Amino acid sequence: MKSITLPAIELRQNSTRLLVTKMRAGDLPHYTKVDPYVTGKNFDDPEQGYQRPPEMPRIKKFGNWMRKEMEEGGHVRVPTAILLSGRAAEVVLAPNGTITLKSTNKLPLVDGQHRTEGFKYAIHEKGMSALADFEVPVVIMLDVDKVTEMRQFTIVNGTQKSVRTDLVNMILTQLSEREGDDSVRQAEHWKVVVTRAVSRLSADPDGPWFDRIVMPDQGAYSRAEQENDPALAHRRIARATSFMTSLKPIEDLLTEFFTTNEDLKQRSDKLFDVIDAFWRAVRDLAPECFENAADYVLQKTPGIFALHRLCLRVMKDMWTGHRPWNQQNFREVLEHCGALSNPTYWAVGTDEGDRGDAAKYGSMKGFSELSDLLYEDLRS
């Protein structure tokens, strides 16, 4: 067990006590920990975390920047404080103005994991041992629980600076599970609804989206993993953020049509049932595009946005015709769209000669145009 004694001052922000201190960069990994989000755990699991895995490109970028600054005689300055939580251990300000931390009770790292890992990378991988003594400002939140940490994480990373939208949505979903739907602003309810639906789609081993969506704690399979198992080349090809965003118009439609007092879980179940039925129908019509998904854009961003726009229009037509939104009915409607069942139309290709028409649309405007073409094909 290691311990460290640090000078600190206390301040208050409303009902929250904060300790302001400093730590050596080399000590940060010994006294802090990250609480990671894990796809396989339920949102209401007390062990479920809220941080994404550290991203090596960001870690290396920060470490290499410090190395370059030092080699060129510049001054490395990192004035932004690392934000920690005192939840995992009792942190007490002694009468002499110091606190003592123990390596056996590491403090949750709410904000600053890439800086922490960047220092570690620079010190141990790049041989910059002098950085071990670099003083880093640290703020420790006292009197907070895990839910409060999660809220603070969304404020810092979702409002004050950018972080992956899918991770923020996952945190909102956890808040809804733990504290009820009212704990999430009504304007963000749709994020909880689509997040639950996407998580179910990704986890369903019989569904068309099983392991095709890169969830917040995941990355695409590496080349080595794909070489070891070629089937992985066709997995994790769509970003959760794109999928979630593209579902909002459909969720809005369902909310408009069903005005009963359904909770967010019920709304999510309804959305999942519709989207799962729609994509199963698409898979029935274009099986090759699903079997070799990486070779086609059907399950990539162009296909996701275009087909969800198409789904929205088809749903409205089916509603008018009093046809339930199920797999069989979706298939009977969609089979009139010749382009949908034509693999060549969706081919990624290597050049203009073998690239499918759908792969030529690369913007939100283009996805809308692609959806219009598919709908016209269906109606004709």
Q: Note the pLDDT tens digit of each residue in 255-282.
A: 988 866 789 999 999 999 999 999 999 9
Count of positions (residues) in the chain: 380
Annotate 146-174 with b (16+ C-beta within 10 A) or e (fewer).
beebbbbbbeebbeeeebbbbbbbbbbbb
Distance CA 36, CA 48 (A): 7
Q: Nearest CA to 119 among 75, 78, 79?
A: 78
Distance CA 98, CA 34 (A): 24
Would you place residue 218 in the very low, low, confident or very high pLDDT band (cuts 50, 70, 90)?
A: confident
Q: Nearest CA to 349 among 341, 361, 339, 359?
A: 359
Is the distance from CB of 165 to CB of 244 less than 8 angstroms? yes
Give the residue-averaged pLDDT of 200-225: 93
Task: Give the containing element (helix H, strand E) for 373.
Answer: helix 364-379
Distance CA 260, CA 263 (A): 9
Is the distance from CB of 138 to CB of 21 less than 8 angstroms? yes
Give the residue-averaged pLDDT of 108-127: 93
The answer, yes or no, to whether residue 158 has pLDDT greater than 70, is no
Q: State phi, psi for 98 to the nearest 5 degrees.
A: -130, 160
Is the distance from CB of 99 to CB of 91 less than 8 angstroms? yes
Distance CA 76, CA 64 (A): 12
Other CB atoms within 10 Å distance of the CB of residue 46 = 8
CA angle 139-141-25, nearest 5°? Answer: 30
Looking at residue 22, its pLDDT comes to: 97
Looking at residue 288, its pLDDT comes to: 97
Question: Would you put residue 14 in left (φ > 0), alpha (ψ -120 to 50) or beta?
Answer: left
Q: Nearest CA to 153 among 210, 200, 85, 106?
A: 85
Q: Of the given ranges (77-81, 164-168, 216-220, 282-286), which has the lowest mean pLDDT?
A: 164-168
Looking at residue 260, its pLDDT comes to: 67
Annotate 208-232 with b (16+ C-beta within 10 A) or e (fewer).
bbebbbbbbbbeebeeeebeeeeeb
Copy the structure tokens of residue 303. Answer: 């296909």
Q: Note the pLDDT tens digit of each residue in 165-189.
A: 787 788 888 888 888 888 888 889 9
Percent of the chain with pLDDT over 90: 69
DSSP 8-state symbol, 16: E
The pLDDT mean for the chain works out to 91
Copy the structure tokens of residue 134. Answer: 């670099």
* Residue whose entry in the numeric block shows the structure tokens 């499918």: 356
Copy the structure tokens of residue 131. Answer: 């950085």
Q: Note the pLDDT tens digit of each residue in 308-340.
A: 999 999 999 999 999 999 999 999 999 999 999
Q: Nearest CA to 22 among 188, 103, 140?
A: 140
Give the residue-averaged pLDDT of 284-292: 97
Give the residue-averaged pLDDT of 16-29: 95
Report the half-sphere exposure of 258 (CA within 13 A, side-chain side): 16
Task: Give the containing element (helix H, strand E) for 312.
Answer: helix 301-320
Q: Give the residue with greater pLDDT, 24 vs 185.
A: 24
Would you place residue 210 in the very low, low, confident or very high pLDDT band (cuts 50, 70, 90)?
A: very high
Is the distance from CB of 122 to CB of 133 less than 8 angstroms? no
Would you place residue 160 in the very low, low, confident or very high pLDDT band (cuts 50, 70, 90)?
A: very low
Give the residue-averaged pLDDT of 139-166: 76
Distance CA 16, CA 319 (A): 51
Q: Are strands 82-85 and 3-13 parallel, antiparallel or unpaired?
A: unpaired
Q: Give the residue with greater pLDDT, 128 vs 170.
A: 128
Looking at residue 108, its pLDDT comes to: 92
How many angstroms separate the Cα of 67 from the Cα of each of 29, 64, 122, 126, 129?
A: 19, 5, 7, 8, 11
The answer, yes or no, to whether residue 161 has pLDDT greater than 60, is no
The answer, yes or no, to whether residue 344 has pLDDT greater than 90, is yes
Distance CA 46, CA 36 (A): 12
Give the residue-averaged pLDDT of 24-34: 95
Distance CA 19, CA 86 (A): 9
